[in-house]
Amino acid sequence: MLPKELRESLKDHIANIDHPRELAVDVMFTLQDHYGYLSDEAVKEAAELLEMTPLEVDEIATFYTFVYREPVGKYVIHVCDSVICWMDGYESIKDCLCTKLAINVGETTADGLFTLLPVCCIGYCDMSPAMLINRKVYGHLNPEKIDSILEKLKAEA
């Protein structure tokens, strides 16, 4: 269940807008931040808040890459899987991440810290190969850099 304050603030937010639907993604992100991922329960709550049916919310939720319908780790690594990054060594970056974290693409580490997901172009071609970790960009990646990033995050966790 959502905490009351959060619920009320969302409701206020929605009340101020003509078509509640417009806020669907925002509401989903809020719920996702709260729950860690958008659970079935969260979809139903979002539907209720937005005056939509759970299906309509799920149609949007399953469509977007950054809305997680399945549990993810604390840090979600979106490694860019598009043309420019391919040219600049996406394969090795992905492989490096996989070996470092000892997981495959789409999986979460056993300690629940990292989830590795490929993503279509995130718009940081200038810094390719790039990745996003919890909405923060890391560019010009190489194995050493990845090491240090991961170490840093592990330490923070």
Nearer to another protein by Cβ, of 43 and 149: the residue is: 43
Distance CA 73, CA 148 (A): 19
User: Counting contacts by CB under 8 A, is residue 63 touching another protein?
Assistant: yes
Q: Is the dihedral of CA 96, 109, 77, 106 positive or negative?
A: positive
- The contact mask relative to another protein for 14-43 (x = CB under 8 A, - = no) is --------------------------x--x
| Position among 41, 106, 134, 140 found at the interface with another protein (CB under 8 A) | 106
CB of 21 to another protein, least distance (A): 11
SS3 117: strand
Q: Closest CB to another protein among 5 and 104?
A: 104
Return the sign of the alpha-carbon dihedral for residues 17, 23, 28, 34: negative
Q: For the CB of residue 59, give the shortest distance to another protein in the complex, in Å.
A: 5
Asked if residue 52 binds another protein (CB under 8 A), the reply is yes
Residue 86's nearest CA partner among 128, 39, 139 is: 128
Instruction: Tell me if 54 contacts another protein by CB under 8 A.
Output: yes
Q: Which is nearer to another protein, 53 or 99 (CB)?
A: 53
Judged by CB, which is closer to another protein: 13, or 44? Answer: 44
Helix, strand or coil for residue 70?
coil
Centre a 10 Å sphere on the Cβ of residue 113 and count the other Cβ atoms it contains.
16
Cα–chain-centroid distance for residue 10?
21
Beta-sheet strands, E only, within 13-155: 75-80, 114-119, 131-133, 136-138
Least gap, CB of 56 to another protein (angstroms): 6
Binding site for another protein (CB under 8 A): 40, 43, 52-56, 58-59, 62-63, 65, 68-70, 72, 81, 105-106, 115, 117-120
